[in-house]
Amino acid sequence: MKAFIQGTGSISAQDSTVFPATIREYEGNRLPVADPDYKQWIDIKQIRRMGRVIKMGVGASHISLQDAGLAMPDAIITGTAYGCLADTGVFLNKLVTQQEDMLTPTAFIQSTHNTVAGQIALMLGCHGYNNTFVHGAFSLENALQDSLLFLQENPARNILAGALDEITEYSHTILSRFGLYKNAHTQQLLRSGTPGTVAGEGAAFFVLGAEKNAQSKAELTGVEMIYRPASVEETAAHISQFLQRHGLQPADVDLLLTGRNGDAHGDAYYENIEGTLFARQPVAAFKHLCGEYPTAAAFGMWMAVQALHTGQVPAAAMFKGNAPAALKRVLIWNHQHTTHHSLILLTAC
């Protein structure tokens, strides 16, 4: 069960048209998205009504289809932890403040979690398989796994898979009250050694096919989720077994791309297993570039696919050791609050 990544597209805190030659740095507890001009993909009348996460999703999906040279996918599969928060917030606000009176449908219609996948299908006229996973830090991973299973049924298919999440004023205020965030400069975030991280948002999409073609950027070799491991040892064993199933040892991984986010407690978990399993492997990171959000691994995957395609790991992404001279295999290991771990194995093609 593997797939070739024929195209990718990302809208994030980084300007994907110049990344990684130009890196955007931020200071604060929240990284905003570098909004592209959405008019290139979406009718101006529609743009005004659309929530930001819908625009990001539609934009990133268009970029990835264009990158793959594909006009019409056979399936659209998305992942989002929070869904369409802005429209949900608008409808909730009016519901409460107007005491359930004089409400209008637009925000409600756009509040459902499948809005983005539905909107992409609508704009493309795509009648194919359409699914949306809404499971926190496993949303992207389930979308990828569903894609691989769907491809296994029929290898002739092309799948548009991606993940997205947005920050809103309400969500940032509420999540901040849980003590998740701190003020930091993105260059210093990963070495801050204190609790907390910075919030992020974004959308990244991938066109997946079973056959290698002229557009293929990298191979999606495997994806795995580990839910509530009982110990660090269990996670380490799981990572080893995952690599073994693909005929690999930890030493065969050219680059470990971790989801470290500057939160001292969470980052220590990466340190621990890096020390035992990946002591000689160079380690990179991505959340100082995109911020922390449940589907941030999609940004990491987008960056890793680019690196495998060009053979260059962005210098700004390196955390430990030197960027490998020859890049064949990247293992993305991400966790959220140490309870939700995911592994995405990518191979150069």
The C-alpha atoms of residue 92 and residue 108 are separated, in whole angstroms, by: 9
Position among 103, 251, 268, 315 found at the interface with other proteins (CB under 8 A): 103
CB closer to other proteins out of 50 and 198: 50
Among the listed residues 3, 63, 124, 140, the single contact to other proteins using CB under 8 A: 124
Tokens standing for 115?
A: 């809005």
By beta-carbon proximity to other proteins, the closer residue of 183 and 339 is 339
Q: State which of residues 22, 93, 187, 244 lies at the interface with other proteins (CB under 8 A).
A: 93
Task: Out of 29, 131, 215, 272, name the contact with other proteins by CB under 8 A.
Answer: 131
Adjacent-strand bridge partners of 221: none
* Closest distance to other proteins from the beta carbon of 341 (Å): 12
Choose the binding region for other proteins from 95-103, 180-188, 204-212, 244-252 (rule: CB under 8 A): 95-103
Residue 71 binds other proteins (CB under 8 A) = no
- Nearer Cβ to other proteins, position 134 or 237? 134
Q: Which two tokens stand for residue 318?
A: 């390196």
Q: Which is nearer to other proteins, 179 or 275 (CB)?
A: 179
Least distance to other proteins from the beta carbon of 152, Å?
7
Q: Applying CB under 8 A, does 109 fall inside the site for other proteins?
A: yes
Measured from the CB atom, the residue of 134 and 210 that comes closer to other proteins is 134
**Mask: binding to other proteins, 258-297, rule CB under 8 A, as x and -?**
----------------------------------------
What is the per-residue burial (b if ≥16 Cβ within 10 Å, else e) of 120-145?
bbeebebebbbbbbbbbbbbbbbbbb
197 forms part of the interface with other proteins (CB under 8 A)? no
> Site map for other proteins, 144-173, x if CB under 8 A?
-xx--xx-xx----------------x--x
Asked whether position 227 contacts other proteins by CB under 8 A, the answer is: yes
Q: How far is the CB of 165 from other proteins (least distance, A)?
A: 11
Q: Which of 34, 70, 225, 323 binds other proteins (CB under 8 A)?
A: 225
Shortest Cβ 102–other proteins spacing (Å): 10
Phi-psi region of 275 (alpha: psi -120 to 50; beta: other; left: phi over 0): alpha
CB 196 within 8 A of CB 182: yes
Q: From the list 2, 32, 66, 114, which residue makes contact with other proteins (rule: CB under 8 A)?
A: 114
The token duo for 23 is 């890196």
Distances (CA, A) of 335 to 36, 260, 294, 295: 29, 8, 9, 11
Residue 217 or 335: which CB sits closer to other proteins?
Answer: 335
With binding defined as CB under 8 A, does residue 178 bind other proteins? yes
Binding site for other proteins (CB under 8 A): 1, 76, 81-83, 91-93, 95-97, 99-101, 103-105, 108-115, 117-119, 121-122, 124-136, 138-139, 142, 145-146, 149-150, 152-153, 170, 173-174, 177-178, 225, 227-228
